[in-house]
Amino acid sequence: MKAGCLVMAGIFFVMMLVGCRAEDAGKDIVGPVNTVKERHVNKLINETSPYLLQHAHNPVDWYPWGDEAFEKARKERKPIFLSIGYSACHWCHVMERESFENEDIAEIMNREFVCVKVDREEHPGVDEIYMSAVQMMTGSGGWPLSVFLTPDLKPFFGGTYFPPDDKFGRPGFKKILLNIASSWKENNEDVAKAAKGMTEALLRKPTWVDGDIDSDVLAEAAESLVYAFDQKWGGFGNAPKFPPSGAIALLMRQYRHSGSEKLLDMATLTLDKMAYGGMYDQLGGGFHRYSVDRTWLVPHFEKMLYDNALLSWVYLEAFQLTKKPIYKKVASETLDFVINEMTDEFGGFHSAQDADSEGVEGKYYVWSRSEIMEILGQEGGAFFCDYYGVTEGGNFEGENILFVPRETEDFARGENKTAEKVEQRLDGLKKKLIAVRTKRVHPGQDYKVLTAWNGLMISSFAKGYQVLGDERYLAVAKNAAKFIVEDMIKDGALLHVYSKGKGKLPGYLDDYAAVANAFIDLYETTFDIRWLDESERLTEQMIELFKDSVGPGFFFTADSHKHLLRRTKPFFDGSTPSGNSMATLVLLRLSRLTDNSDYYDMAEEVLKAVVPRSGRQPRGIGYLLRALDFYMSSPVEIAIAAKRDGKALSGMLKVIHAEFMPNRIVALIDRAAGDSDALEGKIPLLQDKKTQEGVATVYICENYSCKKPVKIPAELAKLVRFLE
């Protein structure tokens, strides 16, 4: 790797400075996204990705990722310029506007390169490989990702956002194009050496050695979070701050085990500050991508489905644990936001909302004080502005991002009102502002339906129904699951993406693992055995397609994913849980439900390979530590004998779902409805479990022993408080 990078540096001199994150540069650039006349049409016009279609009228002769582009590069002996982004990416829009819609720059690109545009959400395997390459070259990455490849797809130079001309301490894109074109023609042998060195580094396989898992690893992992914790504002480190869902989940679980108030305080401070900050949409619900500052005030305004899935889940768990009303409010508003704004007519969930509207980041969400006063009147406006920190000068480029400077209880005391009265008044005022905001130009919607992200969201809606009892949430979860089964499975295999009325592209590890987990969640919510059957089927297929036959864990891609330099095996979380962490959890859950020791062994293999050397880095493997917590605990096994549609069952489930028991499995047998010995064979926990005295009966087993059956919800409530 070093040799290749040195050759590259010799060719391109200081151009390696371009590798900083795209979102950290050029923050003063605003303007309309689509300014070029739509007289140009390129190969992207026939694609279904909203991101690719955004570029279909660029003067650049873009090709989608595939054989046609690669054959052209080989035939014409041209390097490939690979541009990777996604539709909600602000700096992707900026680079399009500045460079890809520039006729002079497009002429150079078309003359000297074969230009390939990739939606990273459609081709995460492609993105992962070339993001790794750019990170090796420059030390960091981001989107838009800009990579130059040989015709055989080997990377030799890359970066992120490039301005059209020298700016922000970065070389201009036009200069880069001309320099690389010149080097390709005049120093082709050196370029080939650089590409060879980089590819060898990418192909180098890590070694994984099994180790023993220390019994204190979870406690030490939680304790290690203390050193990076922001004691005043919550979260970890300084700006930018991303929502640390995995770390919060770990803190809450370890608090459950240890009783350490310090860990609980870290979790709740972070949850509180995010809920009251500008990163949370105080009017419409739902979370923006991340905060650009330490205080969670100014967000990067895009809204991603996966963030809202992961955060709604962790707020629901926090409500179970603490019973704080704010967590219930945030969870329900976030789920409602997804229903209202991100749910497809066929039942799936759209992937993202853009940060920009009318070419300006955040324009849809910000307010002037005078506008609020005009809409709400003097008394209502003053009350609203006081609560949400709205000032004449604003807190974001002269405008106001709504946030809550004081918790509702503190504000209510200052107003001599109850918190409930304050909330009631705010609800009425918010509805007036929402009505006005809805008339603004809405941020663009990426209507792609991504299977893995939908799996995460189905789990959260199932959890929302369990904890909050809202029937809408269960209906939404079931509709989305039905959509996946009917529209996202072809010839028995999962597809990765659905757009413009059709599903396409083979599923990745993340797709299988997230959906298999979601279907277990649906089974434990509805006790409809078909969801457990489908989860098992997908898990078996996941093992067949992705399991490494010579080492621990699962590859991200299957053999059906083409044109990739390597098959990667990610264990570390990114913005979403790693496929291996989700796969490990689903294997552990199914091993307990179905008593399948093979599943348990495969999960244990991953944990023993990764945790001993990475367990003290909880922010990198937060979701694998969630699986480890399940593995190291003795999960609570709850068997219920009852009528599926009976009121007695509802009462028992309400008690179970009110309690924070992250490591548990639940199964039901309804003998009156004809559940047979086959069900007992499938779920051994249900063997010999019957109603007693004709009423719903709950059997709780832990540490390989079962407690006395319970028939009264009040008795069950006393029992579950002391479990785990």
CA gap 310, 453 in Å, rounded: 10
Identify whether residues 102 and 191 lie together within a single domain.
yes
Q: What is the predicted pLDDT for the residue at 602?
A: 97
Place of tokens 């976030």: 334
Helix (H) or strand (E) holding 129: helix 124-138
Range(s) of the domain holding residue 149:
2-203
Domain stop point among 632, 648, 669: 632
Give the Å distances, CA to CA, from 330 to 282, 286, 477: 9, 8, 19
- Asked if residue 212 is part of any domain, the answer here is no
Which residue ranges in the chain fall short of pLDDT 70? 1-38, 722, 724
Q: Can you tell me whether residue 384 is helix, strand or coil?
A: helix
Could you tell me if 618 and 612 are in contact, meaning their C-beta atoms sit under 8 angstroms apart?
A: no
Identify whether residues 337 and 251 lie together within a single domain.
yes
Identify whether residues 652 and 626 lie together within a single domain.
no
CA gap 610, 578 in Å, rounded: 13
- Asked if residue 211 is part of any domain, the answer here is no
DSSP line for 411-453: HHHHTTS-HHHHHHHHHHHHHHHHHHHTTSPPPPEE--EEHHH
CATH number at residue 170: 3.40.30.10
Task: Identify residue 191 by its one-letter amino acid code.
Answer: V
Q: What is the predicted pLDDT for the residue at 13?
A: 34
Q: Can you tell me whether residue 360 is helix, strand or coil?
A: strand
- Asked if residue 520 is part of any domain, the answer here is yes
- Helical spans, DSSP H, in 488-566: 509-526, 529-546
Q: Can you tell me whether residue 379 is helix, strand or coil?
A: helix
- Asked if residue 210 is part of any domain, the answer here is no
Structure tokens at 138: 């420059």
Q: What is the predicted pLDDT for the residue at 38?
A: 55
CA gap 421, 167 in Å, rounded: 53
| Closest to 149 (Cα-Cα) out of 81, 71, 62, 201 | 81
Identify whether residues 263 and 183 lie together within a single domain.
no
Place of tokens 């809405």: 442
Peptide bond into 163 cis (omega under 30): no
- Asked if residue 208 is part of any domain, the answer here is no
Identify whether residues 463 and 428 lie together within a single domain.
no
In terms of C-beta density within 10 A (0-12 exposed, 13-18 middle, 19 or more buried), how is residue 665 classed? buried
DSSP 27: T
Count other Cβ atoms within 10 Å, centred on residue 380. 17
- Asked if residue 138 is part of any domain, the answer here is yes
- Asked if residue 375 is part of any domain, the answer here is yes
Between CA 244 and CA 253, with CA 250 as vertex, the angle to 5 degrees is 140
Domain stop point among 410, 439, 468: 439
> Helix crossing, 509-526 with 579-594: angle to 10°?
40
Helix (H) or strand (E) holding 192: helix 188-203
Could you give the maximum distance between any two Cα atoms of the chain, in Å? 88
Could you tell me if 73 and 115 are in contact, meaning their C-beta atoms sit under 8 angstroms apart?
A: no
Peptide bond into 240 cis (omega under 30): yes
- Asked if residue 19 is part of any domain, the answer here is yes
Could you tell me if 167 and 26 are in contact, meaning their C-beta atoms sit under 8 angstroms apart?
A: yes
Q: Which long-range contacts (CB under 8 A, 24 or more apart) does 280-283 make?
A: 280/330, 281/337, 281/365, 282/388, 282/402, 282/403, 282/404, 282/430, 283/365, 283/402, 283/430, 283/433, 283/434, 283/437
Identify whether residues 519 and 614 lie together within a single domain.
yes
Q: What is the predicted pLDDT for the residue at 539?
A: 98
Q: What is the predicted pLDDT for the residue at 200?
A: 92
Q: What is the predicted pLDDT for the residue at 33?
A: 40
Count other Cβ atoms within 10 Å, centred on residue 510. 27
Place of tokens 């720059």: 105
CA gap 663, 637 in Å, rounded: 9
Identify whether residues 434 and 459 lie together within a single domain.
no
Domain stop point among 418, 439, 460: 439
DSSP line for 623-677: HHHHHHHHHHS--EEEEEES-TT-HHHHHHHHHHHHS--SSEEEEEE-GGGT--H
Identify whether residues 513 and 393 lie together within a single domain.
no
Identify whether residues 478 and 461 lie together within a single domain.
yes
CA gap 91, 94 in Å, rounded: 5
Between CA 306 and CA 314, with CA 312 as vertex, the angle to 5 degrees is 105
Q: What is the predicted pLDDT for the residue at 29?
A: 28
Could you tell me if 9 and 16 are in contact, meaning their C-beta atoms sit under 8 angstroms apart?
A: yes
Identify whether residues 295 and 432 lie together within a single domain.
no
Identify whether residues 619 and 648 lie together within a single domain.
no
DSSP line for 670-715: -GGGT--HHHHHHSGGGTT---BTTB-EEEEEETTEEPPPB-SHHH
CA gap 121, 86 in Å, rounded: 7
Total domains present in the chain:
4
| Closest to 482 (Cα-Cα) out of 463, 468, 461, 500 | 461
Identify whether residues 78 and 8 lie together within a single domain.
yes
